[in-house]
Amino acid sequence: MALAARFLAGAAPVGPLLLYGASSFTVTLLEELRSFPQTAGRIIGVVDRNAKSQPFFEGLSTLTPEEAVGQEATVIIAHPRHGGEMRAVLLDLGMPTARVLSLLHDPAYAAMALDELRRSLLGDPPPCDVLVFVDTNFSILEDEALVRALPTGSAVLGVHFAPWQPYRPEAGLYTAPSFPVLDLRGSLPLLLDLLARAQPRLIYLRSHFPIYPLARLLRIHAPRSRIVHEVYDFIAWQPENVVTAFNEVTPEQLALCRLAEAQTLLDSDMIVSKRGGARWRRWLTRVADSRAAERCVMAFQHAGCVPPPAPPPPRPGPLRLLYAALLPQPRHAALVPGDYDLAGMFAHLTETGPIRIDVFNSVHEGPGQDPRFAAYQERWSAGPVRYFRRLSAAELRRRMPDYDFGWMFSEPSEITVPDKAVCLSARFVGFIAGGLPVVIDDSFELMAGLVRDFQAGVVVPQGDLEALRAAMTATDMALLHAGVRRLWRHMGACNADALARIGRLLSADDMAGTVGA
């Protein structure tokens, strides 16, 4: 963003300026622009399609695109994912082209950025046996666990490739790895230059929607490298309307990602996924080939190597439940009502028995996002249900002994999410790693099966709140805590197996036999 701000300080037309997009990306750009005297006092507002529900952003007034057209100001667009769509919206509304400055469409900025980044990042790249794509938000196996699994002396280089988010490990919710990391700012030319120079023996690709097509490009441009693809989510298992609404993508982008995730099952030497079970293995065989199920290993997201804390002593008082997961903005919650329309379920439980529930929303990252989640804050500001912003995984783990159960319960809905049956969610793994028994319904097939097998919580029929209450109050908590520790050891064994397989890939003497090469 510093580079973009420096370019804009010299290239932005005279007069007032508007920034398009009320997002974390704009926050970073705004900080940089305010450091240049040429632009510091000229930014008068932020354009966003949801301006009516969020009248202010970072101390600036928000305007809808329609309102922005009526301003005598230049709109700056720097969003890496939706810049083209934003520009098209303004032009369709009649804004003159001269008043729309889109960095993605400016050849002078593209040339300046590529030259400077190539010089600063790739002038003398460090040695590289293993190229690891780091991700500050979406990862399954931890960076340091991966390093420990590699043969001794392996030179590891990290790259951060998310075009919509700068690499900022100091943000506090992500621990920077011990190996060096290059922030490529989402530049494909820089990535291809790096591949040609480094020629890594193994590439550990982490990707989440919508950058799955990157896997195919790696296979084409690094044909002799082993590729391990850690796929965070599989779009084929998600309802299309949910994916498009939560990610704001076009049907064409969605179709491309579906093809890409099927192709990577054929191209990659190994797939790391947080999914499993018989239904999952049948799907792998159907969409790829008979060997796909063998190449795809199940892992538990950030299961950790520190044992769960000792269970708390029995205590009087109400049951304490913990909800620590994504809770979408209210306008999105209706897309999957059985999972996210929690008010009715929480009200019924707390009004008919001594139960307290704390809600920590994993996508509510700070006070700047309060307007988006104001409805939750107002509804659950006091009483038996309390709402809080996101906490780090470490802080949540520290608090888990204060609770009796982690919440994994939903109601039936006309909208089904097939992924629920095969997924190992971060919420579930976090509860077990924190020593917290789980209350879960049977629609979460894979996770509910693990809870039953290891006696790590209670499993009840989906939507049956009375069965849920009865199971929680009649259970032997000492038995469940012992089951939680057994399940945690099982999770560690699964992850150790996945890591050992990665290490064996790099240890192989013959690197020519890569899948898809």
444-471: average pLDDT: 96
3-state secondary structure of 85: helix
Q: Is the pLDDT of residue 54 over 60?
A: yes
In angstroms, the CA 377 to CA 154 distance is 48
Q: Quick one: CA torsion of 309, 439, 240, 390, rounded to 10 degrees?
A: -40
DSSP string, 119-137: HHHHSSPPP-SEEEEE-SS
Is the peptide bond preceding residue 80 cis, with omega within 30 degrees of 0? Answer: no
How far is CA 358 from each of CA 26, 69, 377, 388, 399, rounded to the nearest angstrom?
Answer: 31, 43, 12, 8, 11
Strand-pair category, 130-134 with 202-207: parallel
- pLDDT value, residue 39: 83
CA–centroid distance for 155 within its chain: 27
Integer Cα distance of 517 and 497 in angstroms: 25
Question: What is the reported pLDDT for 513?
Answer: 43
**Is a pLDDT exceeding 70 seen at residue 510?**
no
* Assigned token pair, 326: 């994504």
Order of strands across the sheet that contains 438-441: 385-388, 355-361, 319-325, 405-408, 438-441, 457-460
Q: What pTM, to 2 d.p., does this model score?
A: 0.79
Domains of the chain: 2-105 (3.40.50.720), 127-304+497-507 (3.40.50.2000), 319-486 (3.40.50.2000)
pLDDT at 512: 41
Which of the four pLDDT bands, split at 50, 70 and 90, describes residue 478? Answer: very high
